[in-house]
Amino acid sequence: MFVQTKKENRAALIAYLPAGFPSSQGCKAAISVLAKAGVDAVEIGYPYSDPVMDGPTIQKAADISLKAGTGAAEVFSTLKFAHEVGLPAVVMTYWNPIERYGIDRFANQMANNGGSGVITPDLTIEESDQWKSATTSAGINRIYVVAPSTTDARLSLVTAECSGFVYAASLMGVTGARTDLSSSGRDLVVRIRKTTDLPVAVGLGVSTRAQARTVAGYADGVIVGSAFIKVLLDAQNEESGLEALAVLAKELVAGVREGR
């Protein structure tokens, strides 16, 4: 995907949705809507009861998903669905569900269901030996998260362990739509590019066409989660939520493509 978007001289739009939200079938319907709107890839969240990176919007969606019984089977089913509709797909999960499921088993299930890689926001490179072995064996990407607070020395160590792309958290704090974007995202991308040739995708805060355009001007990928989730949460029913999702997705797709 990143090879193709580079040829087209544009960034990619990556949408985040928790598996099982707004419902099991509703999540798959939302992925179809995103694909038709022109979103380039999807990041499927593994709903977790004790998130450290997620803000209130994603926490609320994850709570709805967990109460409906979403677990590993539903995550992999959603992953397979995204793959089948033609979207490159990754899973974002905290480490505990991987360890509980079985490290090698999780990596293999990712590969078996068409997954490209896994974003692990709370896994450090120093604790990744088993994960590195499992992902290498399964042939999937390891995607670590770096932040504005990451020192230059550590940045080179972390990006050296990434594959697929580097996830750049554009600001300090948790996920959530922002009215203004900090310059720290651009500065972080500049620093990352000095350490690796991998694509850099920026997440945290993007919710509007103008913001997507700005981030697409300096990053290889723009990750949007809370804004998509909010329109589904605010809708009176799933049908109207999907309609609102389509409108927002088309706006953000346009913004990303205007970035360069």
Residue 17's DSSP bridge partners are 44
Q: What is the DSSP letter of 188?
A: H
Which residues have C-beta within 8 Å of that of residue 171, sequence separation ≥ 6?
148, 178, 182, 184, 185, 204, 205
The arrangement of strands across the sheet holding 166-169 comes to: 141-143, 117-119, 89-92, 41-45, 12-18, 221-224, 200-203, 166-169, 145-146
Find the catalytic residue in 8, 40, 50, 54.
54
Q: What is the CA radius of gyration of the chain?
A: 17
SS3 145: strand
Residue 188: give the domain boundaries: 2-257
* Exposure on the CB side of residue 128, measured as CA atoms within 13 A: 21
The count of structural domains within the chain is 1
Strands annotated E in the chain: 12-18, 41-45, 89-92, 117-119, 141-143, 145-146, 166-169, 200-203, 221-224
> What's the pLDDT at 178?
43
Give the span between the Cα atoms of 197 and 121, in whole angstroms: 21
- 54 among known catalytic residues: yes
For tokens 């450290």, the residue is: 52
3-state secondary structure of 153: helix
pLDDT at residue 157, as a whole number: 98
CA gap 206, 227 in Å, rounded: 7
pLDDT at 38: 98
* Residue 58: both structure tokens together: 């994603």
| Mean pLDDT per 10-residue interval, the chain, length 260 residues | 96 97 97 98 92 77 94 98 97 96 98 98 96 98 96 97 94 49 82 98 90 96 95 96 98 96
Output the pLDDT for position 120: 97
Which residues, listed in sequence order, are joined to residue 201 by a DSSP beta bridge? 167, 221
239 part of the active site? no
Token pair of 177, please? Answer: 């739509």
Q: What is the DSSP letter of 44?
A: E
Token pair belonging to 156? 């080179």
Interstrand relation of 145-146 and 141-143 (parallel, antiparallel or unpaired): unpaired
DSSP state of 199: -
Whose tokens are 């709107």? That residue is 37
- 232: CATH: 3.20.20.70
| Whether 83 contacts 32, CB under 8 Å | no
Query: Which residue out of 43, 74, 84, 187 is catalytically annotated?
Result: 43
